[in-house]
Structure 1
Amino acid sequence: MNPRTTARLVAALALSATLVSACATDRGGDAGVPVSGAAGAATSAATADTEFGTLASPCGTGDASGATDQGVSDTEIRIGYGDDRGYAQSPGLNKEMSDAVAAMIDWCNEQGGINGRTIVGTDYDAAMTQANTVMQEACRSEFMMVGHGFAMDQTAEQTRVACNMAAVPGFTVSPDAANGPMTYQGVPFPVDYANGAAWFQMAQMHPDLLGDFDLVGSTMPTIITSLAKTRSIAEAAGFTLKDCGVTINYQGEPSYVPFAEKYKQCGVKGLWTSRSPVPNEFNFFKAIDQVGLDPIIFGEATWYGNSAQQFNAGSGILNNLNADMTFQMLENADKVPAVAKYKELVEAKGGKTALLGMQSTSSFLLWATAAKECGSDLTRQCMVDELASIHEWDGGGLHAVTDPGKNMPAECGLMVALEGAEYTQVFPEQSAEFECNDKYLVKTDPSTWGTELGPDRISTKYLGPNVITPQA
């Protein structure tokens, strides 16, 4: 997902990518990260890098103490994280998220943990369909969930709220999770406001195509909700979208040619997809090419990744691909210290670097920043209070500024394009720069939300009297 971004098998099924955890069971939880004690961590703190881009490290030694909440002791803080890497139809799905959190836990513990408490992480594999099982396990032992991303998070949300599992996810997908209670994200993707930079920028790039785009329909409920929201954002940016009547089975079609023919007959010159770069989607665009269509292909940030590069390297079918970003490109590591630091830490552990990994990294840093402020009073109540008070956040320079405390997205963006196997920034022209504008923050129509919100913009679906709320 943008970002998400939420950025999508993970911007509506939110996002995609790869790799593996050596110590995860087929169900999910295995306590996989640091077992070095606080004393050992303190020894190495003197030589540890204590900055992450423009952000002073929230990690370090200290004298915090007390068993203040579930998963917190004098010496340890237990957090859960994870992805959908065990999903059979897309092995390794979003594994870069776990790679990132594991690397960040090590980096933090090398400095002394959080106020001297060592972070112990449990790496969960939701495998797409087991998100609720994962959450049930986390509810028994973890202090919080941090930097995770489960495409079917709607199946786990009731369980999470019922056990007061406060969370700082890397991304959310379902409406109830996106505006869920006790949830804060480095890059928020709420249902009632959207960063519309992508559509406004596309309008500037292709002003002659404002009446020639259509959305690729799907049978997946989360994508259906996402497309309704996308349509309202596109219209706010000046587009009059076509309605070619194409709906594609999320699980795949025997042939995509009839759907491609329908788009051709409809006269489209641009296609927006809320799916991720997965085999079924590649087969669809092969059919688009087969019938002689050559549209501008437009998608969320999940289309910035290795799978699209590898597919396009030999075929060139995605040479018209554009993807919107609120994050810096990995290619900008020489210009952006936070990106360079992210790559350094993850690659040192043999992990994969990708956009979703940066999302998880931002959320981990957000969590750690709040945890540091809580000191010995490390409770979920304190974490909710601290997270709700953070209103300017860019992950040390990883992405455009957001407002996690109010669950508000950025008002900035940039556009990348794919040619062969190479991504380049195409808007704005200045590399590593975002274009920002107040009008990019779009208030969406309540009919597109997919959930009811209270006056605090929190989803009311699973609220109960014991939910933790920010205290003045």
Structure 2
Amino acid sequence: MNRSRGTTISTHRLGAALVALLLLLGASACGSRADDADDGGGGDDGLSAEDGGGGDEGGEDGSGDGGEVPTPESDTIGTIDNPCSAEAAEGELPADTPGVTEDTIRIGVISDKENPSVPLPTVGIEESVKAFVEFCNAAGGINGRTLELETYDSMITATDDVTKQACADDLFALVGTGSVQDQLGIESRIGCGLPEVGAYSATSNRSESELFFQPIPATQSQHFNVGPCLWMAEQFPDDVTKAAIVYTDLPTASVRAQQIKDNCTAEAGFEFVADVPVPFGETNFGPAIEEMQSAGVTYFTMVSASSEMLAVLREANTQGLEFNVIDLGQQYYDRAVAAEALTNGAYVLTNTTPFSETDQTPALGLYTEWMGETGADEDKITSLGVQAFSAGLLFATAVDSLGNDITRDGLVTALEGITEWDGGGLHMPTNPGEALHNDCFLYLRITDGEFTREHPDEGFECDPAFVIESDESYAG
């Protein structure tokens, strides 16, 4: 097996067959479309490095309201201190800390990589972690220690296999991880004591597991953010009583769909007149459309991947079914979705600052600039990639606070103490240290092939009351 060190990436390929392609994000509760809705304004958003380039090259600060992009030498990255520098910490390094030497810190990232068969929303996570590592190393590392990165392709079904490989590879921690079936590999990771600062959690099993942190806590078994549902019910009170939810019959999808349906019904007055599970891999959506037509559906949402959602919309168009409202979660913040004419007017949730606002967001300018520095293609610049970059900054902030007293236990304690976080302005404000479910939302709207800000007019709409606790557990 060839393995290279530093920021040169090695990928472990296991050749497993693809059997799932769902990206179930904590924020994917209720997004939508309505042809009659007012356009909420905001600039276009093409998700490209060019569009998100970010103004003049930064001064030493990088925290201003303008487009100054921080440099490796900047003291701050937007709203946070730059955790990367060449300045060595004082004191003696504890003996036998896995993955840590006087000069280096070894980390790994597990993600579902691009493949020729199935387009995956997790594409871009690995590249985003690489961009973070290269930026941090250009700044001198963390307390003068260079980051070395190992990457692992979980290929949807191989998460446990590559987790075991990561356990054997002398890593200090996993950083920026993101796999569709992340309920796999948890026991292996905990068993070897490997902390993880993930980009996101697809399942509550992962988000609620030991030694796991993420910049935007979400996908929890007994907590749910109803803010988007409440807002949609206010905008479209008639349509939400004629709602349809479509989802594949895999457990992770069906559990998430049930959580959406139950909570939006109880808290926001939704009525799902069509509840449509479809077999995984289904390509004939004719019966699903017929069921929705019979039920008089005007509001549509789906828990699936972009390719399947677009196939449903095409079949609806073929059969002449028009939805007043189309609900799209964060996994659909995807250039391919915006390019499809049938999605024009759709609303899409996002956890992260819109790419159209890169010029006004120094931290987002930093992300897009360093994605360019690493040679990443435009389609690798994604909302999930932003979360992976934030995970890198979160990890570095915790490690920087340890000085030379670097241990895995110390890392966990430091992460638990970070209770206010927005990645420097990359995304909504959160409390990762206490794993409090995010209580914010932001809607984009697809307009003529671009993502535009719809609500709120700036920032994110946040309210602790949006997060409700249910008696029933939606574990999965």
Q: TM-score, normalised by structure 1?
A: 0.81
Question: Given the alignment of the two structures, is residue 81 of structure 1 paired with residue 102 of structure 2, yes or no?
Answer: no
Question: Given the alignment of the two structures, is residue 222 of structure 1 paired with residue 248 of structure 2, yes or no?
Answer: no
Residue 216 of structure 2: aligned partner? 187
After TM superposition, give the deviation of residue 162 of structure 1 in Å.
1.1
Answer yes or no: is the 8 Å Cα contact 2:24–2:253 preserved in 1.
Answer: no
Question: Given the alignment of the two structures, is residue 328 of structure 1 paired with residue 356 of structure 2, yes or no?
Answer: no
- Aligned counterparts of 1:258 and 1:416: Cα–Cα separation in 2: 30
Residue 164 of structure 1: aligned partner? 193
Answer yes or no: is the 8 Å Cα contact 1:97–1:147 preserved in 2.
Answer: yes
Answer yes or no: is the 8 Å Cα contact 1:6–1:188 preserved in 2.
Answer: no
- CA deviations over 1:374-406 (Å, ceiling 9, x no partner): 121111100110111111111111111111111
- CA deviations over 1:120-152 (Å, ceiling 9, x no partner): 011211111111111011001211110010111
Q: Number of matched residues? A: 408
Worse-superposed segment, 441-450 or 415-424: 441-450
Give % identity: 26
After TM superposition, give the deviation of residue 86 of structure 1 in Å.
4.3
Residue 11 of structure 2: aligned partner? none
- Aligned counterparts of 1:276 and 1:444: Cα–Cα separation in 2: 27
Q: 1:414 aligns with which of 421, 442, 464?
A: 442
Structure 1 residues 3 and 132: alpha-carbon distance in aligned structure 2, compared to 1, 3 A threshold: closer
- Aligned counterparts of 2:433 and 2:259: Cα–Cα separation in 1: 23
- 2:122 partner amino acid: N
After TM superposition, give the deviation of residue 417 of structure 1 in Å.
1.1
Instruction: Spell out the pairing of 1:266-415 with structure 2 (5 A cutoff).
Output: 266-278=295-307, 280-295=308-323, 296-310=325-339, 312=340, 316-351=341-376, 352-415=380-443
Instruction: Spell out the pairing of 1:195-214 with structure 2 (5 A cutoff).
Output: 195-214=225-244
Structure 1 residues 235 and 211: alpha-carbon distance in aligned structure 2, compared to 1, 3 A threshold: same
- Aligned counterparts of 1:444 and 1:323: Cα–Cα separation in 2: 25
Answer yes or no: is the 8 Å Cα contact 1:68–1:377 preserved in 2.
Answer: no
After TM superposition, give the deviation of residue 7 of structure 1 in Å.
5.6
Answer yes or no: is the 8 Å Cα contact 1:6–1:171 preserved in 2.
Answer: no
Instruction: Spell out the pairing of 1:5-24 with structure 2 (5 A cutoff).
Output: 5-6=26-27
> Any idea what SS the aligned residue of 1:161 has?
helix
Question: Given the alignment of the two structures, is residue 4 of structure 1 paired with residue 25 of structure 2, yes or no?
Answer: yes
Answer yes or no: is the 8 Å Cα contact 2:242–2:273 preserved in 1.
Answer: no
After TM superposition, give the deviation of residue 58 of structure 1 in Å.
0.5
> Any idea what SS the aligned residue of 2:421 has?
coil
> Any idea what SS the aligned residue of 1:246 has?
strand
Question: Given the alignment of the two structures, is residue 259 of structure 1 paired with residue 320 of structure 2, yes or no?
Answer: no
Answer yes or no: is the 8 Å Cα contact 2:247–2:304 preserved in 1.
Answer: no
- 1:231 partner amino acid: K
After TM superposition, give the deviation of residue 55 of structure 1 in Å.
1.3
Structure 1 residues 211 and 283: alpha-carbon distance in aligned structure 2, compared to 1, 3 A threshold: same
Structure 1 residues 3 and 197: alpha-carbon distance in aligned structure 2, compared to 1, 3 A threshold: farther
- 1:185 partner amino acid: Q
- 1:400 partner amino acid: M
Answer yes or no: is the 8 Å Cα contact 1:139–1:163 preserved in 2.
Answer: yes
- Aligned counterparts of 1:231 and 1:195: Cα–Cα separation in 2: 12
Q: 2:177 aligns with which of 143, 148, 154?
A: 148
Answer yes or no: is the 8 Å Cα contact 1:214–1:244 preserved in 2.
Answer: yes
> Any idea what SS the aligned residue of 2:306 has?
coil
- Aligned counterparts of 2:428 and 2:23: Cα–Cα separation in 1: 11
Worse-superposed segment, 84-93 or 73-82: 84-93
- Aligned counterparts of 2:426 and 2:23: Cα–Cα separation in 1: 13
Structure 1 residues 7 and 241: alpha-carbon distance in aligned structure 2, compared to 1, 3 A threshold: closer
- Aligned counterparts of 1:77 and 1:284: Cα–Cα separation in 2: 46
> Any idea what SS the aligned residue of 1:281 has?
helix
After TM superposition, give the deviation of residue 47 of structure 1 in Å.
6.4
> Any idea what SS the aligned residue of 2:105 has?
strand
> Any idea what SS the aligned residue of 1:447 has?
coil
After TM superposition, give the deviation of residue 271 of structure 1 in Å.
1.1
- Aligned counterparts of 2:349 and 2:245: Cα–Cα separation in 1: 15
Worse-superposed segment, 342-351 or 216-225: 342-351
Structure 1 residues 3 and 349: alpha-carbon distance in aligned structure 2, compared to 1, 3 A threshold: farther
- 1:348 partner amino acid: E
After TM superposition, give the deviation of residue 229 of structure 1 in Å.
1.4
After TM superposition, give the deviation of residue 68 of structure 1 in Å.
4.4
- CA deviations over 1:48-76 (Å, ceiling 9, x no partner): 33432221111112334535411111111
Answer yes or no: is the 8 Å Cα contact 1:414–1:427 preserved in 2.
Answer: yes
> Any idea what SS the aligned residue of 1:216 has?
strand
> Any idea what SS the aligned residue of 1:124 has?
strand
Answer yes or no: is the 8 Å Cα contact 2:122–2:180 preserved in 1.
Answer: no
Structure 1 residues 445 and 319: alpha-carbon distance in aligned structure 2, compared to 1, 3 A threshold: farther
Residue 138 of structure 1: aligned partner? 166
Residue 66 of structure 2: aligned partner? none
- Aligned counterparts of 1:77 and 1:212: Cα–Cα separation in 2: 54
- Aligned counterparts of 1:244 and 1:413: Cα–Cα separation in 2: 26
Structure 1 residues 330 and 267: alpha-carbon distance in aligned structure 2, compared to 1, 3 A threshold: same
> Any idea what SS the aligned residue of 1:153 has?
coil
> Any idea what SS the aligned residue of 2:268 has?
coil
- Aligned counterparts of 1:387 and 1:238: Cα–Cα separation in 2: 35
Higher relative contact order (CA 8 A, sep 6+): 2
> Any idea what SS the aligned residue of 2:473 has?
helix
- Aligned counterparts of 1:2 and 1:239: Cα–Cα separation in 2: 26
Structure 1 residues 7 and 269: alpha-carbon distance in aligned structure 2, compared to 1, 3 A threshold: closer
After TM superposition, give the deviation of residue 6 of structure 1 in Å.
4.4
> Any idea what SS the aligned residue of 1:244 has?
strand
After TM superposition, give the deviation of residue 320 of structure 1 in Å.
3.7
Worse-superposed segment, 175-184 or 347-356: 347-356
- CA deviations over 1:289-321 (Å, ceiling 9, x no partner): 1111221111211111112123x1xxx211242
Residue 3 of structure 2: aligned partner? none
Structure 1 unaligned residues grouped into runs of 5+:
9-16, 19-44, 451-472
Structure 1 residues 183 and 75: alpha-carbon distance in aligned structure 2, compared to 1, 3 A threshold: same
After TM superposition, give the deviation of residue 161 of structure 1 in Å.
1.3
